[in-house]
Structure 1
Amino acid sequence: MLPIYVVNNYGQFNHLILRSLRDMDIEATMISNETPAFEVAEGCRGIILGGGPTLARAGIAAEYLKLGLPVLGICLGLHVMATSRGGTVTKGMSGGYGAVDVDIIEKNDLLDGYPGRIRVWASHADEVSAMPEGFTLLARSDICGVEAMADIDNHLYGLQWHPEVSHTENGRLVFENFDRICRE
């Protein structure tokens, strides 16, 4: 079975995403965010756009959204998804990393199995302030209006929070659900 590619956007948790998947026996490989899109299309069954410092360091990651593969954007990956599809990302009011209580607004394949509210670990230095057309709001918090969004028809999912860190309540479930989406 083809692996899930973890796109390294130079964030501090990208290797933790890879390790989390491998610890769950999910076949995964890390790639540079400059890997040509045709190589990505031929080599994997799904893509996780990892976090990173700024959109300017995201390489050609937005090109991967056009491949027809399931994509999960985490933090900066969410921002790449939003801006490349016509949404807006702005500076957040709350800044750095910390615990956030997130309300699940709409359950779907990615958030299946979660209760109505979960505690997550997230950075809000930047956040989606306007979702792209065609996306559905999945979760929000008191400090961020778009904690999670999805274009379900195109299998594009984005999270502001980091499911790969131990501080996030049952973060493994996101990866289990995404693995299932990539197998369908």
Structure 2
Amino acid sequence: MTRIAVVDNHGQFTHLEHRALRDLGVDTELVDNDTAPADLAAYDGLVLSGGPSMDRTGRCDEYLDLDVPILGICLGMQFIAAEYGGDVGSGEYGGYADVTVEIVDEKDPLVGSLAPETRVWASHAERVNAVPDGFARTATSDVCDVEAMSDPERERYGVQWHPEVAHTEAGDVVFENFLARCE
């Protein structure tokens, strides 16, 4: 059975990420973001949760050295982008809203199956302005140019939106696609 650790970056929906994976039949554990990397090495994949700010991401930088697929959600994606040299900054739209997202890479292993578009629940107070080298922008919207990004070679993925909430149209598909990368 696939084992996934959801790394808690103090986001308000982190428990829903854990539950969504558990509901898909995954052996999942919610772990503090100050957990020693060695304690996470036995997992088949990590989810870096959303959260309030980059300065509360604990040891997430060390987790990027682990040889497992990693999915960043909202702040988790922004963190991955910043750590790999992308540009992250303030967005024009704060607060959560229903957003129509266009999938720009139908072959992407994380979001390609959602093409041509999907509706999501997202906040854009902070966002990725430019993806790092090695990553591709895989989804966009009218309010945010980088709604999702992927680097399948390093198995690093991110979505700006929240696949774990009921307001997101096909959130379970995002998690299923990520789990397929972890097998």
| Runs of 4+ that moved beyond 4 A | none
TM-score, normalization: structure 1? 0.96
C-alpha displacement at 1:115, in angstroms?
2.6
1:107-149 deviations in Å (ceiling 9; x for gaps): 3111242131111000101000121111001000011010000
Could you tell me how far apart the structure 2 residues matched to 1:166 and 1:123 are?
Answer: 15
Q: Residue type of the partner of 1:62?
A: D
Q: Secondary structure at the match of 1:113?
A: helix
Q: CA RMSD in A?
A: 1.0
Runs of 5+ in structure 2 lacking a partner?
none
Could you tell me how far apart the structure 2 residues matched to 1:162 and 1:27 are?
Answer: 20
- The yes-or-no answer on 1:51 pairing with 2:45 is no
**Structure 1 contact 112–177 (Cα < 8 Å) conserved:** no
C-alpha displacement at 1:49, in angstroms?
0.3
Residue equivalent to 2:6 = 6
Q: Residue type of the partner of 2:175?
A: F
1:15-55 deviations in Å (ceiling 9; x for gaps): 000011111111111111001111111x2000000000000
Identity among equivalent positions (%) equals: 47
Residue equivalent to 1:89 = 88
Could you tell me how far apart the structure 2 residues matched to 1:20 and 1:128 are?
Answer: 25
Residue equivalent to 1:60 = 59
Residue equivalent to 1:106 = 105
Q: Residue type of the partner of 1:35?
A: T
Runs of 5+ in structure 1 lacking a partner?
none
TM-score, normalization: structure 2? 0.96
Aligned residues: 182
Q: Secondary structure at the match of 1:172?
A: helix
- The yes-or-no answer on 1:24 pairing with 2:58 is no
Q: Secondary structure at the match of 1:34?
A: coil
Q: Residue type of the partner of 2:130?
A: A
C-alpha displacement at 1:2, in angstroms?
5.1
Residue equivalent to 1:133 = 133
Q: Residue type of the partner of 2:24?
A: M
Q: Secondary structure at the match of 1:118?
A: strand
Q: Residue type of the partner of 2:13?
A: F
